[in-house]
Structure 1
Amino acid sequence: MIVQTFINFYLKIFFILTPFFVLSAFISLTKDFDDIEKKRTAVRVTVGVMISSFVFYLFGKYIFELFGITLDAFRIGAGTILFLSAITMIAEKDDTKKHANSSDIAIVPLAMPMTVGPGVIGMLLVTGAEAESLTEKLIIGIAVFLAVISVGIILYLSSSVKRLIGEQGLVILPKITGLFVSAIAAQIIFTGVQNFLHLN
């Protein structure tokens, strides 16, 4: 049960972080960097994503209480935003050009909002608020940690990954990720609507 919960959340969070979409943006934005600079940027992106992810994951419950938002209402809203993000990935809208001249691309736009965007923030807030026991919260926390590390490794080895999957792979994989994310988003919305209708 514990292993199944961990794997479920790890895969869900890994795909929602859209690693291959972020990889494509990372390669585009660091094309003029040398290998050492690329690796340093990858580490900074990973640290930025890790900190922001855990802030939203750990304090989601208190944010709901502060603003008086019900969990199911937020599920519907977060799921909708996540679904729109998935459509953007599938449609392959490239937003990297407007950030090309940014002085620090590690935090903005790579860590936020490309990796930790509104959809990811919403999902982390909901996941953190849903965790009922300390054990469950810890398991999900480890899943979040390892999912972020996995994305960081992909960015750190971006040159090797690019050679492995090729230019065509960089086009196809973000779209496949978008399909998975859209399915996860739909499930979040359906759960929110179902629970809301049962309560009313």
Structure 2
Amino acid sequence: MSLLFATWIKFFFLFAPFFVLSMFLALTRGETTKSRRQVANKAIIAAAAISVVLIFFGGSLFAVLGITLDSFRIGSGILLFMSALSLVKDGTRNHATGMPNEQREDISVVPLAVPTIIGPATIGTILVYGADFQGWDLLIGLMGLFLALLSLGIILYSGSLIEKLLGPTGLNILSKITGLVLSAMAAQIFMGGVMGFLTPLVQG
């Protein structure tokens, strides 16, 4: 149960829910409640499908490309830290800057699911977690992932109410707090990769 809770929390912050909410509100401005919920449903389903593919085929991808898990930990840790830094600094993710001004017929998959929910840093981190999950941990990891996406969906469903309660300033503060948590996760992933490289050298 503790592993499920920890995995859920990690994925919840990884998806930067309050930043996603800010983007969702901007992209669906003027839409009806029914239309907003349809967009939220499609975005969550698309994000879930992409995440499951990444978790199951991450190890195979490493093998095909000849990339070690520790190398990917270092790279994804750096990307995640850059994403966290952008949230703390100005409340945006680098890959999503300017998206609210784009006009699209269906924004649920692009740009909401990708790259707002599932961006480069998120992809790298999910690949690392997927490679780490073994046996029953994989099932628990998937459950944690789905719980995080369900939580994100609830937040998007309640978007209008949350916006009224917190206002733009409140949402921005929550995005910055999310960035701080992500920076700690990034440091842990990065150091895990570094230690993976150093341990054989020290023992040798």
TM band (smaller chain)? over 0.9
Moved >3 Å (runs of 4+): 96-99
Which residue of 2 is the match for residue 129 of structure 1? 131
Q: 1:27 aligns with which of 8, 13, 25?
A: 25
How is 1:46-195 mapped onto 2 (pairs within 5 angstroms)?
46-92=44-90, 93=92, 95-97=97-99, 100-133=102-135, 135-195=136-196
1:156 Cα shift?
1.5
Aligned length: 197
1:164 Cα shift?
2.5
Return the letter of the residue paired with 1:142: M
Return the letter of the residue paired with 2:159: S
- Taking the aligned partners of 2:141 and 2:101, their CA distance within structure 1 comes to 32
Return the letter of the residue paired with 2:181: F
1:99 Cα shift?
5.0
1:167 Cα shift?
2.5
1:91 Cα shift?
2.0
Q: TM-score, normalised by structure 1?
A: 0.94
Q: Which moved more, 1:188-197 or 1:99-108?
A: 99-108
- Taking the aligned partners of 2:18 and 2:113, their CA distance within structure 1 comes to 14
Q: TM-score, normalised by structure 2?
A: 0.92
Aligned in 2, Cα 1:96/1:154: closer, same or farther, shift over 3 Å? farther
Return the letter of the residue paired with 2:51: S
| Unmatched tracts of structure 2, length 5 or more | none
1:98 Cα shift?
6.0
Q: Percent identity?
A: 41
- Taking the aligned partners of 1:42 and 1:157, their CA distance within structure 2 comes to 11
| Unmatched tracts of structure 1, length 5 or more | none
Return the letter of the residue paired with 1:183: A
Deviations 1:163-186 (A, max 9, x none): 232222111110110010011001
